[in-house]
Amino acid sequence: AMGYAGYAPGNKVAESLSPLQRALQSLPLEKAQEILELLEKLTRNVVRNPGEDKFRRVKLSGAKMVAALAEAPTMMDVLQEMGWVAEEDCVVLPPSVRLAHEVHVVAIIDAKDYFKKEMENERRRQLRAGKTGDADKEQVLKQMELDRKEKDAEGPVTHGSVAQKLGDGPNIMRAGDVGIGKSSGG
């Protein structure tokens, strides 16, 4: 069975990315999910309330914005690509710019999926390279070596273990001891 335009199923033609998608994918891998969450919240607020001025002005001095911009300076490129304009201590979305759910929010959701796949690929690469778990493995091997040396220092075992009398043992009662299972002939 042939797919669309004669291409076999599974052979996708690489789509060119929009400038917004390129900007979103330029975020650092380690912090991408957190930054995309923040961007999505800002974007959804503007989409839901396009005339609300408080959602169209974001202070860059806020704790979350300071942290996000410090971790990913390319976040500013994403904001500018969406239409935000930098002013002295904030970014403002001009009234002429309309953010659309189908374009902007969907692009952010697609970027989240992209980074989720990239994180999984990175995890796989590290597993293949044997980098993850090395510290734990190294610690266990060191402890095993120390235990081995400690046992060697004690010398060889020259006598076998000897059973010790521990008392009368547990006080076990059987069903028959209390009359269960005994026929009283009635």
Dump pLDDT digits (tens) for 5-44.
Answer: 666 666 555 568 888 888 898 988 888 999 999 999 999 9
Q: Are strands 57-59 and 85-86 parallel, antiparallel or unpaired?
A: unpaired
Write out pLDDT tens, residues 44-58. 999 999 889 899 999
| Residue 182 identity (one-letter amino acid) | K
**Percent of the residues in the chain that have a pLDDT greater than 70, as a whole number:** 86
Residues 135-139 have a mean pLDDT of 80
- Alpha-carbon distance of 110 to 179, in angstroms, equals 74
Please name every residue paired with 59 in a beta bridge, in sequence order, or none if there are none: 90
Hey, how many other C-beta atoms are within 10 angstroms of the C-beta on 111? 24
Q: How confident is the model at residue 72 (pLDDT cuts 50, 70, 90)?
A: confident
Q: SS3 for 72?
A: coil
